[in-house]
Structure formats: structure tokens, C-alpha cells
Amino acid sequence: MRNDIWEKNLSAIDKKLPGWRAYIEGKKYEIKRKDGTTPYIKDVKVRAAEAYNGETISAVHHKGKAYYLSGKYQPSLYAKRLAEKVENKGFGAVVFVIGFSDGRYIKELLRKMGKDVTILVYEPCLEIFLHALHEYDISELFADRMAGIMVQGINENDFAWTMQKSVSIDNMAKFRLEVMGNYEKLFPKEVDDMVESIRKYISRLTIQWNTMVNFTNQTIYNNVKNLRMLYSHYNFNSLHQSLPQNVPVIIVGAGPSLDKNIDELKYAKGKACIIACDTALKPLIDHGIIPDLFVVVDPKKPMELFEREEIKEIPVISGLDVPYTLMQSHQGKKILYFDTAIIAKVLQQAFGDAWNTPQYYMGGIPTGGNVASTAFSAARLMGARTIILMGQDMALTGEKEHASGTFQADRRFDLSNRNLPLVESVDGRMVPTLHILKSYLSWFEEQIRLYPNLKVINATEGGAKVHGSKQMALRDAIRAYCKCKREFSGGRLLKKVKPHFGAEEKERVALWFQELPKRMKNLEKKVVKGGNDYAKLEQLVLKGSYSQAELKRLLKRLKKVNKELDQDEEAALIMDGLRGVEYTLRTQMYTFQDDSQKDLIESARIGYKFMQSMQVVLLQMEPVFQEVADYFTEKLEG
């Protein structure tokens, strides 16, 4: 062990990972369980050895056998060759490595990939990580380049946060998983568990992607038409930690079991904050229950859900992509959260450089892909200490997916279908569900693990068991947790919330929106130019007789326009209208690593198709851009 290396590495860690030094030096990982075992110490011994070329290597001794982490011959060359085999997928790519090992491979990967690629690392063995800190100068790995490192015994619970920060719908096609040599033999359970966690996360993104594709045409139309709501909206951030500590939140979904206990909810009025999912609104009002808030997230939710006159006055939490007809007919407070990049641009116009400070910024709401998960996150961010779920079956109850009185109440499923997945029910049996409902269930269970101080009560009297929650009848849950001394009033709570924009901000925003048609016309010109350049690229390569200088100039222009589009908030608004176009268009149009004729022709055709698609959307939306501009002109003149 070399103290100079140890200190250099810890000093680097101090800058990148504050708090880790104290944890490591304090040996807090050695705290033993009640049974006398040490939670993070594996049945392995890690020792320094010498490779045949004289370099220091690490040998892991386990069950009488030695495993070398970087080979026994030329470890640095071995790491370099491994890194060279990893395809550089370019801008936005993510490489997830299971196995920190001795850090050699991570170094080589960082050198090869460049600054546009995110590297994530998970080390399942704390001893190996500590050994690397002692034996190898790995200080450069803790510079800003490496976006995330998780070590079992230090921060393994950061997985969900790290993935959410690094892997999204837009770059999931550029995600790559690498498992270091011998790790599957040494730590099979840890490797399998991490691979399964990654699989579930990517699967959830895929489901969200498919949902967005389904909503493609309506989403872009809603997003643009609803831009006018930004004139007098309320900011969801203003509700953060606003709930009194003793007021629980009851989230009402529209699962079939809602029919069993909906009338019990009357006893919670004034003793809890009742948040309704959109589909549950009509059944609640039919039973004389007016929720304090409702949440809507689906761009295609039919207006028949909102036909009751009472709904017009109930405050709504939503993004901009919800049905514009709902937003135009709704007369209550519209509490918006960040769900499209153009909002950032609007905030910049309103507040200048201070737009992203806590006072003015509009945050997003984490979601598991459905309205109930968005409502759950909203309740947590509002400061709820206790959340009671009802009508959240997430399984097929009596062949049904929804409660009576909803627009899908008559939808039935064949429970004998063996392709339906099974989940544990609230009474311990195995019941059928849908794959998408199972993914929602996994999301809820993951959130409960992520926020252990949040008490979650499942008062859904049927359907799937939500592991980590406490199962109770709604009547009992109300008696146990709805005990606030002063009657709770959602209206009184929301009276404290002021509109996001004052008179000056409204004027600045209105002036900016007046120019929206002109800016979109300029964007169209850029898209047309990009499409022409892609067409030129195809013609050039097909012709075969071109100079490398000519090719490089064309590729440079295309990279520039792609980068500009990727960083343009208004372009992002249009790209949301392309969810139905082949997903590869958005990922492959950046790839110019290989200049072989075949790859260049394919890239040219993909890029041209993408630019054409953007142009079509821009042309179709021209009247709506003008409509938005006219609305803000009226506001200025009025």
C-alpha cells in the first residue's frame, strides 16, 4: 500500500464526491449486523501482484482460486484493447460498466469516448474499490468526466437517481452495458441483480416511448395550443412542501376496486388532501365528492371525462401536452410543471438570468408513465408524509381494468389468457395483470424503496399488492391517519399560491410570443438547408469521385445543424411531433464515425428523412403558431 497514492485519490474524491472520504476513512462500512456479519465485506481477499511485464495487477482470491482483474501479462494493453472494442455511439451515448476493477479500463474508455459520452460505473465489491484507491493512481477518474460511480456499501442506492439523470428516452438507443472480466464468476448475484435493474429501467423507458409514439400527433398540437396557458399559469414549484405535516394525501385512481370503497372517502373530506386521477373524476362527483386537485397527463384523454360542470373549477396539475380543449374550457387554477424544453425559453424571457433560480424555476414531476404515478410524485413534492392509495389496482379485477362510471368501464379481458403476467394480490393470491400495469406497479415499489421516510398506505381493496406499503381498508386508514385538528381546505391552501408571472413578466413573454411565427419560419429554413445537405451527401457518395476535403466540409455543416437543432428549445417542441417517425432517425443522424460508402449513404438517407419530417410538421403547424401569436397580441393590446 502506498500512502501517497491513497491520499492523492482521496483528495480527488473530495472534489467530485463530498462526504466519501469521511465515510471511507471512518470505516463506516464495517458496522456489523445483529448476526455478527459485516454487510458489505465479501468472502474474498484482494491482493497486489506483479504481471509478467512488471506492472502492478490485482488478484482476487475466492474459494481457493485467484482471479486476475486485468490479466497476468500486459494489463494496460489488455484494458486498452477492451476499450477499443466498445463502439463509440457519439453524442448522448451512455456506457454502463459493471466492475470498477483497477480503474485501467475506465481510464481507457474515457480517453476513447470523448466528452459527449457518459460513463457510469458500478462496483459490487467494496474491497476491490478500496484496494484500487490504495494501489493505483486513479485520481483522474474523479474529474468531471465520469458522470456516475456506485459502490456497494457506499452509495448503491443511487442507482435510480443516476439512471434518471443520465439515461432518457432520447438516448436509450445509445445505451451500452459492459461487464468486466471475472465479475460474473466472483459476484454472480450482484451482477445479475444490477443487470435486472438496468433491464427494468430500460423496459420502463421503452413503455413510455411507445406511449409517446401513440400520442404523437396530438402531443405536438396540444403543446403549441397550450402555450397560451403560460400567460397566467401557476407554478407547481410554489406548492413544494406546502402541505401541513399532519395532512395526508389520498390519491384516487379509477381501478375497478374503487367501486368498493368510494363512499368511504366522504369521511376523509377536510381531513386529507384528496388528489384525483383524471379518470376518477366523474365517479367521485357522481358520489358527491369534490377532490382538492386533479391530475391529467394523457394527451388523448377524451373530453367526456371532464363533462361535469364541477370539474371546471377544480384546480388541475398538468403539463402542456394535455388536451387543449380541456385547458381552454377549464376555469380553475392551472398548476403547471416543466414538461417541454420551450418552457425554459419562456422563463428566460420572463425572468432573465434569474429564470433557473428556486424563486422562479418551474420543475418537472417524476413519473412512472401514468397519471397515478405523477399524482404520487406531486404529493411527495408537496410535502406529504403519508400517502394513501385507493383505486390503484394495477391488476385485472373481475376481468376489469377500470371502475364503473369511467370511459373504459366496459372493457373486458380474458383472464384465461396465459400470456398475461401474474402478480401477487392484496390477499396473497396470484392474479393476472397487463404488462404496462406491472411496470406501473414496479415504479411504485421502487419509489417506496427510494423514500423510506414516506409512509405509503395501500387502501385499494383489490388488485395487486404494493410491496413496501401497508395494506389497510380505507375506513381504517382514514381513522388512523386523517386526524388533523384544523379542517383542511384545498382552496385555502391554494389561495397562498400566486400566479407565476407578474404584469412585467407577462408583457415580456407576450412580446416574445408575438415573434413565434417568424422564429419558426427561420427554423424551417434551417431544416430545409439541412435536408438539402443530406441530399448532397448521398449524391456525392453515390457519385464516388469526391475529395476528402469536400466530404469533410459537408459533414461539418451537417454536424453543426444537428447540434443546433438538438440545443434549440423550439426545435425540440417540433421534434415532439416526430415520435411516430422511426426512432433510429434521431439516434443515427449523428453517426459519422465510419466514412465507408455504405454507412455514409445510410446516414444521408436517414438524415434527409428526418429533416423532411420536421419540415412537414412545421408547415402543418404554421396556422397554430400564428394563432398563439395573435392571442398574445390581444393580451398586449387589451
Q: Which domain holds residue 631?
A: 515-637
Q: Write down the mean pLDDT value for the chain.
A: 85
Please compute the mean of the pLDDT values over residues 488-504 and round it to a whole number. Answer: 92
Query: 119 and 12, same structural domain?
Result: yes
Query: 174 and 262, same structural domain?
Result: no
The H-or-E segment that residue 605 falls in is helix 597-637
Report pLDDT for 36.
57
Query: 277 and 260, same structural domain?
Result: yes
Query: 278 and 177, same structural domain?
Result: no
Question: Does residue 503 lie within any of the structural domains?
Answer: no
Boundary of a domain, candidates 167, 192, 211 = 211
Query: 621 and 476, same structural domain?
Result: no
DSSP 171: T
Query: 226 and 188, same structural domain?
Result: no
Question: Does residue 509 lie within any of the structural domains?
Answer: no
Boundary of a domain, candidates 495, 523, 541 = 495
Cα separation, 624 vs 144, whole angstroms: 43
What is the three-class DSSP state of 286? Answer: helix
Q: What is the pLDDT of residues 318-368, one digit of tens each?
A: 999 999 999 999 999 999 999 888 999 999 999 999 999 989 999 999 998
Please compute the mean of the pLDDT values over residues 495-501 and round it to a whole number. Answer: 92
Q: What is the pLDDT of residues 245-290, one digit of tens each?
A: 999 999 999 988 898 999 999 999 999 999 999 999 999 999 999 9
Question: Does residue 504 lie within any of the structural domains?
Answer: no
Question: Does residue 456 lie within any of the structural domains?
Answer: yes
336 phi and psi angles, rounded to 5 deg:
-100, 150
Residues 81, 158 contacting (CB under 8 angstroms): no
Query: 224 and 193, same structural domain?
Result: no
Looking at per-residue confidence, does 629 or 75 come out higher? 629
Query: 224 and 195, same structural domain?
Result: no
Report pLDDT for 409.
45
Dump the DSSP string for 553-566: HHHHHHHHHHHHHH
Q: Count, in order, helices (H) and strands (E) of the chain.
A: 23, 18
Residue 515 Rama label (left phi>0; alpha psi -120 to 50; beta)? alpha
Query: 176 and 38, same structural domain?
Result: yes
Query: 304 and 428, same structural domain?
Result: yes
Looking at per-residue confidence, does 598 or 375 come out higher? 375
Boundary of a domain, candidates 464, 495, 526 = 495
Query: 228 and 199, same structural domain?
Result: no
Residue with the three cell numbers 394563432: 627
Q: Is the pLDDT of residue 401 over 50?
A: no
Q: What is the pLDDT of residues 207-256, one digit of tens each?
A: 666 655 444 467 888 999 999 999 999 999 999 999 999 999 999 999 88
Query: 468 and 451, same structural domain?
Result: yes
Task: Provide the number of structural domains found in the chain.
Answer: 3
Q: Is the pLDDT of residue 542 over 50?
A: yes
Q: Which has the closest alpha carbon to 44: 72, 76, 66, 19? A: 66
